[in-house]
C-alpha cells in the first residue's frame, strides 16, 4: 500500500482449517479489503485467516495477525505485523475490538464467539456461509459483495 493511507482495519474471522472453495472465497475477501484501502486484521493462523491475508497481500494491503499463542512462528506467512498473545481463544476479543468492521467466512465455535462479540459491541459484520443468527448478520455470496456491504455500513 505504498503511497496510500490506510482507511481503517477490517477483521476477517473464520476457521483455521477450511475447504479449497472457502479458501478462495476468503482470499477474495482479503483482496477486496486491500483494494478498498483497509488493512486486514485476523487471528493470524491458517485456513480462512491465511487465505484472507494472502489475498490482502496480493492486493497490496497490510495484514495484522493477533495470535492465540505466544510464538510468532505460528503466524501464517502472509502476516505483516504479528501480535503473539498467549491468550488462546480469549484473543478473539482483541481481533474484534481491533477491527472497525468484520467479515465472517464459514467457521465453527470460535468464529461464532467472535460474531457474538461483534454484535455485542455493535461492530458492523457481514457473513459468508457462516452462522445464521435470525438475520442479525447480513449474508453475502462472495468476497466482493461482502466488502461492498461493509463499505456501505461504514459510511
Q: Which residue segments constitute the domains of the chain, with CATH numbers given?
A: 9-131+141-151 (3.40.50.450)
pLDDT score of 89 more than 80: yes
Q: Do residues 106 and 14 lie in contact, with contact meaning Cβ atoms separated by under 8 Å?
A: yes
Task: Provide the pLDDT confidence category of residue 6 given band limits of 50, 70 and 90.
Answer: confident
* All residues at 6 or more sequence positions from 77 whose CB lies less than 8 Å from its CB, including other chains: 50
User: Using one digit for the tens of pLDDT, what is the confidence trace for 126-155?
Assistant: 999 999 899 999 999 999 999 999 999 999
Task: Provide the pLDDT confidence category of residue 3 given band limits of 50, 70 and 90.
Answer: low
What are residue 84's DSSP bridge partners?
A: 67
User: Does pTM top 0.85 for this prediction?
Assistant: yes
d(CA 145, CA 32): 9
Amino acid at each position: 500500500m505504498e503511497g496510500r493511507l490506510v482507511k481503517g482495519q477490517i477483521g476477517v474471522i473464520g476457521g483455521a482449517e477450511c475447504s479449497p472453495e472457502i479458501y478462495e472465497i476468503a482470499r477474495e475477501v482479503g483482496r477486496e479489503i486491500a483494494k478498498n484501502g483497509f488493512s486486514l486484521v485476523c487471528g493470524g493462523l491458517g485456513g480462512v485467516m491465511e487465505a484472507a491475508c494472502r489475498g490482502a497481500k496480493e492486493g497490496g494491503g497490510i495484514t495484522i495477525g493477533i495470535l492465540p499463542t505466544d510464538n510468532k512462528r505460528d503466524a501464517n506467512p502472509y502476516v505483516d505485523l504479528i501480535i503473539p498473545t498467549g491468550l488462546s481463544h480469549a484473543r478473539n476479543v482483541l481481533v474484534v475490538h481491533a477491527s472497525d468492521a468484520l467479515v465472517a467466512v464459514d467457521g465453527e465455535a470460535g468464529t461464532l464467539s467472535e460474531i457474538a462479540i461483534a454484535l455485542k459491541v455493535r461492530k458492523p459484520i457481514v457473513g459468508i456461509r457462516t452462522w445464521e443468527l435470525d438475520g442479525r448478520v447480513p449474508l453475502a455470496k462472495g468476497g466482493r459483495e461482502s466488502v461492498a456491504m461493509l463499505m456501505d455500513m461504514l459510511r
